[in-house]
Amino acid sequence: MIDPAERGADPTITTHKRALRVAYILAYRAPNYIRSLSLQRALGNCSSIEWLLARNHSSGVARYVETWRALRELRKTHAPDLYILGFRGHEMFWPVRWLTRGKPLVFDALMSPSAAWREENKAGFLGRLLAPLLHRFERGILRRADLVLTDTQQHVAFYVRQFGLPQAKLLAVPVGAVEANASAGLAATPAAADAPLSVLFYGSMLPLHGIDVIIAAAAKLADWPIRFDFVGGSARQARRLHRLCATQGVTRYTHRHWVPMDELVGADIPRADVCLGGPFGGTPQARRVVTGKALQSLALAKATVIGAIEEVSCFLDKDNCLLVPQADSTALASALRWCAVHRDALAIIGERGQALYRQRFSVQIITQQLCPALERLHAAHTRQP
């Protein structure tokens, strides 16, 4: 891919020569979020698509102005046939819908913000109070989009049930990951065989991830040579993590705030013996997702502990992952004890997990699902009188 900045063009717009012009629009506070990168890579793999990018580079409120200006320029100079508004685009949906009128608009809903407020207590009491209003706002967006993307069939069923969407309007595509060839040469030196088992968790520490379940499991492993490494979370979440550890007597752990994705995939994940993919929280949202951290660990051939969800039967315990029930600290502790005893099995579990990722969740799979759906949507739109 040629950077437009190198040829004097607007650096917020990127083009690829393809037949069907698809514009990907992004104004998220984390523009390099793996979901967005995976969809962009999938678009780049589509032989029948020319894809264009209008995105933000800053993380503050200015990101909306950045993206809006890039989109207006892109629309004027390239006249896309179809638009995709990436996660999380709820704030920009209606202006984008107005600007792209007359063309199909795909909306990557991924997960429901109103459900996060109502079911996950993400915004506290005020969030629960305002969740019905957000639900109505969200329903209007979903109904005006021409195609809605999410990540699992469980989420498809949720959107059909909660928002009255026809199932044909929804498409589930995996979140994706930074794949092994993209991080070649960055692997960390393995730890000594007699070192404590290194267990890595990274992420936002939302209720669905089940930090309390992880700490309760760690408390059950106090006499085992197992160390927990936590990365991420807000300042408030970090305080809660330290408080839980202190209350339950967990001392063999470290916590770091956010680190760059390159560092995670190039050093932290390869250095760990086991990765906690989860989700472990047992919340309604946790039972609908395969987490991005789980897919990332699988993609890098790392033995990964997965919190079971009803839909996905391809995860096999002690074969391609360590599979545990959600909201069960005893089961999680038992799985980690098994890992400590059977360290020699972790590499083969990681290799099988990576094979599963390639078969079911990779960017190649996203490409195979997304590109035909976009072509069908465009064809149906052009047939309309």
Query: Do 108 and 197 have their domain in common?
Result: no
- Residue 52 gets which letter from DSSP? E
Query: Do 57 and 196 have their domain in common?
Result: no
pTM of this prediction? 0.89
Query: Do 129 and 234 have their domain in common?
Result: no
Domain count for the chain:
2
The three-class DSSP label of residue 49 is: strand
Query: Do 279 and 317 have their domain in common?
Result: yes
What per-residue confidence (pLDDT) applies to 202?
96
* Gap between the Cα atoms of 311 and 294, Å rounded: 15
Query: Do 225 and 326 have their domain in common?
Result: yes
* Gap between the Cα atoms of 330 and 318, Å rounded: 17
Query: Do 114 and 219 have their domain in common?
Result: no
Query: Do 305 and 244 have their domain in common?
Result: yes
For the chain, give the number of residues.
Answer: 385
Phi/psi-derived region of residue 250, left when phi > 0, alpha when psi is between -120 and 50, beta in every other case: beta
Q: Which pairs from 119-124 meet CB under 8 Å and 24+ separation? A: 119/283, 119/284, 119/285, 120/206, 120/207, 120/208, 120/283, 120/284, 120/285, 121/207, 122/206, 122/207
Query: Residues in the chain with pLDDT < 50?
Result: 1-9, 11, 16-18, 182-188
Query: Do 288 and 354 have their domain in common?
Result: yes
Q: Strand 13-15 to strand 49-55: parallel, antiparallel, or no bridges (unpaired)?
A: antiparallel
* Gap between the Cα atoms of 349 and 135, Å rounded: 41
Bridge partner residues of 49 (DSSP): 20
Percent of the chain that is helix, strand, coil (3-state, to 5): 50, 15, 35
What per-residue confidence (pLDDT) applies to 305?
98
What per-residue confidence (pLDDT) applies to 5?
35
Angle between helices 292-299 and 343-360 (to 10 degrees): 110
Domain that holds residue 193: 180-360
Contact 24, 96 (CB under 8 A): no
What per-residue confidence (pLDDT) applies to 277?
97
Asked if omega into 88 is within 30° of 0 (cis), the reply is yes
Query: Do 251 and 371 have their domain in common?
Result: no
Residue 43: which CATH number?
Answer: 3.40.50.2000
Query: Do 323 and 371 have their domain in common?
Result: no
